[in-house]
Amino acid sequence: MSENFDVKLDGKSYLPDPSVKENSWIGDYETAYNEFLKDPEKHWENVAEELEWFEKWDKVREWDHPYAKWFTNAKMNITHNCLDRHVMNGKRNKVAIIWVGDDGKEEILTYRQLYREVMRFANGLKSLGVEKGDRVCIYMPFVPEQIIAMLACARIGAVHSVVFGGFGANALHSRIKDAQAKIVITADASLRRGKRIDLKTLVDEAVVNASSVEKIVVLRRMTPQMELFSEIEVDFYEIMEDVEKECEPEVMDSEDPLFILYTSGTTGPAKGIVHACGGYMVGTYYTTKNMFDLQESDVMWCTADPGWITGHSYIVYGPLAMGATILISETTPDYPDPGVWWSMIEEFDVTIFYTAPTAIRMFMRMGEEWPEKYNLSSLRILGSVGEPLNPEAFEWYYRVIGKEKCPILDTWWQTETGMHMLTTAIGEPMKPGFAGRPVPGIVADVVDENGEPVPAGTGGFLVIKEPWPSMMRTVYNNDERYRQYWSTVGNYYAAGDLAVKDEDGYIMILGRSDDVLIVAGHNIGSAEVESALVSHEAVAEAAVIGKPDPLKGDSIKAFIILRMGYTASDKLKLELVYHVRMNLGPIAIPSEIEFVESLPKTRSGKIMRRLLKAQELGQDPGDISTLED
């Protein structure tokens, strides 16, 4: 597929005050990029040298397409770099985490406190029999203990699999099963907009028929305290009580797995993306430092949840490896009022703010009067991630929040890439609608299906041509699926996104080339929603498409064929919505359901979602030669 997209490439560009480059880590982007091109391995080796390793590498990179190893035979532990390194080097009392709860409650942890908590919880996990290589599922609300749990796993070499607390029981069950998790760490409840959402009951449901699970660790934050079933349930803080205070970091090989994180695919269940210790550390450290230009005095607020890759890389590992102060928050952007986030920026002097276009568009709707009530002058750098930042939202973010002085980084990347891949480095001209150019260290391009570069202005597939340290190493239990990433478009890593490049090499993301939906910045497979729908007794067949939505990116529309004996009704629609909610969680709920008699299919029986979408949007359906009927 390579066709001409009618995209405006000559839109306005914004040039930030060039002084932002002056004392920045990255300096001049082109110089940095050309330096990298001269000696790619040296580029990454220099970054790795800034971190502490128990033993250095034999080789920076070993590339045996499609398998890469980075910093081979080096020994390290990411938590040594996120904690010990700072505690030993004068940052003992620096604030690591500032947390604000849904109810406004605050908690602060210095590096010393975080270090201590992580070590004790790590010993607690050991006391439950967790060993290096075991998988631990973390299904928690956004509280500091979630980060403590992640770091404690990394400390002892257990592989964490964080499942976003907004997912339902079935989604959790399939992730626990696929990873064969030994332990599930959860909490009694999460709080959202003043309401309590029970997590533990969902865990109870999810662990049925998941025989790998030996223990459930429960953080009890509510009163009265929830009863535990002592055979397999233990209290989060009780396991920290009678253990040693110190916990030496497990010596990890650079290539040992650090975590699994599930992401939605086109077909079948979610894919367990596996990241490796050394390369992931180097990649997230490098981009946090050079793209966000994180300095000693910064306060960084990334509004994602650690249940997504954005939280893994730019709340937890990247910023902590840099020894930064991070703000984290359980709050939603409009509760108790639409000024709550801006009030927190004022209150905590946030300097780097990283959020999603869907949030920015929501703020635009609520009006400028909300941010205008607060002093946002501490802000220095703004970021966006998850879906394209459309020019209107860019302009608003730049003017209303950044007061026309903050560079905006529209960062394109994926669960699979681990770190930022495309963006506009600070101090470079920003082009609204474009993610930007490759991060130094990354070779990206827009190509046709054979991997040949397409001319500027022509749409094509976004690919990464060379391996990079924080690339995924495999798909857990499905290496075949991993190899597909590197074999569908030439020999390159195919991101699954369509893009177009302009004359200056800036890349604009046009959307997915497959049936993955991006709803409010979250990646949801049409197949997952369909199989949740089909698991309802009334549904014979289901097809799901994404419809452009001014707020959410995509909104989900489902077409349903009912089983014999069931009749279409509004009540049934509500029941189906509820069913999806319970199975997959609130983010996967269809906003529209249409009952139909038949669905368009190919001769081989695949539902042609593309055709449904074209019909729905009144577009030309394109090639329909494979249509069965």
> Interface residues with ligand PRX (CB under 6 A)?
263, 309-310, 385-388, 410-415, 435, 495-497, 509, 512, 518, 523
CA distance 613 to 515: 11
Nearer to ligand PRX, 330 or 497 (CB): 497
217 vs 435, beta carbon nearer ligand PRX:
435
When the beta carbons of 285 and 413 are compared against ligand PRX, the nearer one is 413
Tell me which amino acid residue 84 is: D
Instruction: For the CB of residue 116, give the shortest distance to ligand PRX in the complex, in Å.
Output: 31
The residue among 235 and 395 lying less far from ligand PRX, judged by its C-beta, is 395
Distance CA 282, CA 163 (A): 24
Residue 66: is the preceding peptide bond cis (ω within 30°)?
Answer: yes
**Nearer to ligand PRX (CB atom), residue 329 or residue 415:** 415
Q: Which of helix, strand or coil describes residue 601?
A: strand
Q: Smaller CB distance to ligand PRX: residue 123 or 423?
A: 423
Residue with tokens 């009951």: 201
- Sequence-distant (6+) residues with CB within 8 A of 360 are 384, 389, 393, 396, 397
Q: Give me the least distance between CB of 102 and ligand PRX, in Å please.
A: 23
Phi, psi of 527 (to 5 degrees): -60, -35
Residue placing its CB nearer to ligand PRX in the complex, 130 or 426: 426
Q: At closest approach, how far in Å is the CB of 313 from ligand PRX?
A: 8
**What is the spatial distance between Cα 119 and Cα 126, in angstroms, rounded to a whole number?**
11
Least spacing, CB of residue 66 vs ligand PRX, in Å: 18
Peptide bond into 432 cis (omega under 30): no
Residue 444, amino acid? A
Min CB(518)–ligand PRX separation in Å: 5
Least distance from ligand PRX to the Cβ atom of residue 302, Å? 11
User: Closest distance between ligand PRX and the C-beta of residue 333, in Å?
Assistant: 18
**Positive or negative: CA dihedral 173, 178, 182, 186:** negative
Nearest approach in angstroms of CB 415 to ligand PRX is 3
Residue 507 or 539 having the CB closest to ligand PRX: 507
The three-state (H, E, C) secondary structure of 3-33, written as one string: CECCCCCCCCCECCCHHHHCCCCCCCHHHHH
Neighbour order of strands in the sheet with 352-355: 106-110, 95-100, 325-329, 299-302, 352-355, 381-385, 408-411
Query: How many other CB atoms are there within 10 angstroms of residue 110's CB atom?
Result: 18
